[in-house]
Amino acid sequence: MISRSALGAGGLALGAAFGTPKGSGPVVDFELQTIRGAFNELKPLFPSQADIIGKILKVADDFDAAYKAKDFSSAETIAANLTSLVSQFTSDIGVGLPPQVKLWLAAASIAIRTIAVLIKGSASNNAPQAKVATVSLINKLASTSAVDAAFAAAKF
């Protein structure tokens, strides 16, 4: 399981680079699959967190629908909600987590940051009416320093 998550995180750059069909916005299927996979793996380990994990999976589906419909303003808002739910989950499960859990959360986090980078590029051209707080979060997640830190953490 860990190797699948590690490969997923390592392959994000390829998904972002080669996952864009001509004439459309970037495809986020790989990133959403990574998020869904991570939280489906976490579900049996944290049965008391089933409700929030269910919300995370539902919000990931909602984001997918909005993004594919090119409703980037809604997608930004939904991505902010997804980020908030993942942060809440991480806070709720506490510290002292096994390495496997940390890697699944890291893979999901990298996938969310990759989505933020793609939204930032798509939304800047297509949804100037996005909320200031949402744009601020997307910019924070997609900032060069955040991306560089995630990349540095992934190096062997």
Task: Please name the amino acid found at residue 57.
Answer: L
Report the number of distinct structural domains present in the chain.
1
Is-contact 111 34, C-beta < 8 A?
yes
Q: Tokens 């996952």 appear where?
A: 19
Place of tokens 């990931």: 60
Q: What amino acid occupies position 18?
A: F
pTM over 0.85: no
pLDDT tens for the chain, 156 residues long, are 443 333 333 333 333 333 444 335 578 899 999 999 999 999 999 999 999 999 999 999 999 999 889 888 888 889 989 999 999 999 999 888 888 898 889 899 889 988 888 877 765 555 445 555 666 777 777 777 777 777 677 665
Dihedral sign computed on CA atoms, order 19, 107, 148, 64: positive
Structural domain boundaries enclosing 136: 2-154
CA–CA dist 111, 35 (Å, integer): 7
The two structure tokens encoding residue 90: 């991480």
